[in-house]
Structure 1
Amino acid sequence: MRSKLFVPGSRPELFAKAAASDADGICLDLEDAVVEARKAEARDAVRGFLQGGGATGGKTWIVRVNGLDTPHFAADVAAVAQPGVHVINLPKPESPGDVQAAAEALDRAERDNGVVTPIGLLLNIETPKALRAAAALAAAHPRVVGLQMGLGDLFEPLGIDRREASAVRQAMFAVRMAAGETGVYAYDSAFANVRDVDGFREEAALSRRMGFLGKSCIHPSQVALANEAFRPTDAEIAHSLKVVEAADAATAGGVGAYVVDGRMIDAPFEARARAIVASARRLGLVP
């Protein structure tokens, strides 16, 4: 999921357009993109779209619900935990108990709505407390599939400049380590300045170097930028193919470590090379 496009739940005329886009994932948003007066209307629109079989097209379908501390959470989950939804995006969890409560609500909704394939939870890391407890949050329930960086919510209340590189790097690194500790993926934040193409590219490149899976997009124009940033480079693919070939030969010959392109290779490097090759194959970049 190199790119995840947010679509306001109150704009059902955009749902099909988003589904036809090049985004790998679509996030129907009931939280920040919907004003308070239209929450119920947006919920009904998303439920109708999902019950009508709209969540198709080989994409990852996500719904961001309102937080546990709002009057909308229970109704949101009950409405949108439908067949075809892969992930529920949970805003601002701060304790393992929050995650467990969300998972229990999802259990009930799946039973009521006839969902047979379990829906995952993507947890937003948007507060200092959540950042400090990120690994505990990720480990709180087997439904958790990923941690998502929320730099706007994390930085703005604290007066931290969104473009302060040292702060961005530290927050990203903390989330990536928490995700690595618990075996879930890390997903990057949205970038609010749609006109700042260079800024989006720079931040996406950083998050890819830090091992994030992809980046959130708040406008269709950002999708191509995210897809480009999280595509394996030709050089990475070529090197990884050599590593995989050499690894297979080394295994057959009983060799534990070997050299490819002047670099010593052992198990961790082999694992990364195989992941790059698998990604390239999914994208049709290699046979």
Structure 2
Amino acid sequence: MTRRARPYRSVLYVPASNARAMEKVKTLPIDAIIFDLEDAVAPDQKIPARATLATALKEGGYGKRQRIVRINDLSNQWGTADAEAVAQMDCDAVLLPKVESAAQVEALAQITKDLPIWAMMETPLGMLHAAEIAAHNTLEGMVMGTNDLAKELQSRFRADRLPMQAGLGLCLLAAKARGVTIVDGVYNAFKDADGLRAECEQGRDMGFDGKTLIHPAQVAVANESFAPSNDEVELATRQIAAFEEAEAAGTGVAVVDGKIVENLHVVTAREILAKAEAIAALAT
């Protein structure tokens, strides 16, 4: 499975200090889990949470879900010890908060070695340095921290997220230029399914690979929004067939539904089918 095909439709935050929550996520149809040692864990629970998380990961049972651990910032009293502990855990990646430079990614890589790194993109400086961050050879993914970004921007909430479009766009460009996975920020009103769906659809239209979530009630909407629809799969199948038929006939021109189909459309069509197949494989 290629990195672009690997589904990250639903990425759920789970407190690493909550053993019950870490057990429950084993039953949820999510693509990835962020086990959180940072914001979701109280200061007096930071150290015990490492051991709780290590035990949960060792016991396993998370199936094909990607297991990502968010540590504390390396500049505070817990970050370095978090990184050292995560380097020994059975996880798929480590997530570094408030990344603003490639140097921060490198500092973490010196501790976690070959473990893939994900970067929280949540400050104006991080947005401005997104290209250099995405270019680091250990970086595998970016996570938008839209709550922190809104705080830093001093912006008002708008359903269209106009105030943060520049930051979202810079990170998207950086991620796509380097083949890095990028998932959208959280939607805070977890009981508002319509609002969540609208924001998921906006994020999917922009090019995000999925959505970070704060509640299990949000999973179904995110999974549906970021998966290829039946219509998209059907169209992709017809585009590939028409293009291959035109090539075989030596005509060089394929037409589907009155529209020219070129090689670039076929590339996209194949990616749609690969994503659909990968999603189906996760369910087995």
Q: Same fold (TM over 0.5)?
A: yes
Task: Tell me the distance in 1 between the aligned counterparts of 2:131 and 2:218.
Answer: 29
Task: Tell me the distance in 2 between the aligned counterparts of 1:70 and 1:163.
Answer: 33
The residue number in structure 2 matching 1:63 is 69
The residue number in structure 1 matching 2:38 is 31
TM-score (norm 2): 0.90
Q: Which amino acid aligns with 1:224?
A: A
The residue number in structure 2 matching 1:242 is 238
How many residue pairs are counted as aligned between the two chains?
273
Task: Tell me the distance in 1 between the aligned counterparts of 2:37 and 2:186.
Answer: 16
Is the aligned partner of 1:282 residue 2:254?
Answer: no
Match among 227, 233, 238 for residue 231 of structure 1: 227
Shift of 1:251: 4.0
Match among 88, 91, 94 for residue 94 of structure 2: 88
Is the aligned partner of 1:42 residue 2:42?
Answer: no
The residue number in structure 2 matching 1:15 is 22
| Structure 1: gaps (5+ residues) | 108-117
Residue pair 1:194, 1:219 contacting (<8 A) in 2 also: yes
Match among 104, 122, 128 for residue 118 of structure 2: 122
The residue number in structure 2 matching 1:110 is none
Q: In the TM superposition, what are the counterparts of 1:204-283 in structure 2 within 5 Å? A: 204-254=200-250, 256-283=252-279
Shift of 1:50: 1.8
Q: Which amino acid aligns with 1:129?
A: L
Instruction: Indicate how the Cα distance of structure 1 residues 246 and 16 shifts in structure 2: closer, same or farther if over 3 A, else same.
Output: same
Shift of 1:169: 3.1
Shift of 1:127: 0.3
Deviation per CA, 1:167-197, whole angstroms, max 9, x where unpaired?
2433322221111122212211111221222
Instruction: Indicate how the Cα distance of structure 1 residues 160 and 224 shifts in structure 2: closer, same or farther if over 3 A, else same.
Output: same
Instruction: Indicate how the Cα distance of structure 1 residues 256 and 44 shifts in structure 2: closer, same or farther if over 3 A, else same.
Output: farther
Shift of 1:252: 3.5
Deviation per CA, 1:73-111, whole angstroms, max 9, x where unpaired?
12112212346411111111111111111111111xxxx
Task: Tell me the distance in 1 between the aligned counterparts of 2:143 and 2:118.
Answer: 7
| Structure 2: gaps (5+ residues) | 1-7
Shift of 1:229: 0.9
Task: Tell me the distance in 2 between the aligned counterparts of 1:152 and 1:50.
Answer: 28
Task: Tell me the distance in 1 between the aligned counterparts of 2:143 and 2:159.
Answer: 19
The residue number in structure 1 matching 2:4 is none
Residue pair 1:240, 1:274 contacting (<8 A) in 2 also: yes
Task: Tell me the distance in 1 between the aligned counterparts of 2:169 and 2:254.
Answer: 30
Is the aligned partner of 1:154 residue 2:149?
Answer: yes
Residue pair 2:123, 2:152 contacting (<8 A) in 1 also: no
Q: Which amino acid aligns with 1:20?
A: T
Instruction: Indicate how the Cα distance of structure 1 residues 252 and 160 shifts in structure 2: closer, same or farther if over 3 A, else same.
Output: same
Instruction: Indicate how the Cα distance of structure 1 residues 119 and 262 shifts in structure 2: closer, same or farther if over 3 A, else same.
Output: farther
Instruction: Indicate how the Cα distance of structure 1 residues 284 and 50 shifts in structure 2: closer, same or farther if over 3 A, else same.
Output: closer
Task: Tell me the distance in 2 between the aligned counterparts of 1:280 and 1:228.
Answer: 11
Task: Tell me the distance in 2 between the aligned counterparts of 1:255 and 1:175.
Answer: 40
Q: In the TM superposition, what are the counterparts of 1:73-222 in structure 2 within 5 Å? A: 73-82=79-88, 84-107=90-113, 118-140=114-136, 142-163=137-158, 165=160, 166-222=162-218
SS in 2 for 1:17: helix
Structure with the bigger RCO (C-alpha within 8 Å, sep 6+) is: 2
SS in 2 for 1:284: helix
Instruction: Indicate how the Cα distance of structure 1 residues 69 and 254 shifts in structure 2: closer, same or farther if over 3 A, else same.
Output: farther
Shift of 1:253: 4.2
TM-score (norm 1): 0.89
Shift of 1:254: 4.9
Alpha-carbon RMSD: 1.8
Residue pair 2:191, 2:217 contacting (<8 A) in 1 also: no
SS in 1 for 2:260: strand
Q: Which amino acid aligns with 1:49?
A: A
Q: Which amino acid aligns with 2:215?
A: H
Q: Which amino acid aligns with 1:127?
A: T
Instruction: Indicate how the Cα distance of structure 1 residues 176 and 78 shifts in structure 2: closer, same or farther if over 3 A, else same.
Output: same
| Percent identity of paired positions between Structure 1 and Structure 2 | 35
Task: Tell me the distance in 2 between the aligned counterparts of 1:137 and 1:245.
Answer: 39
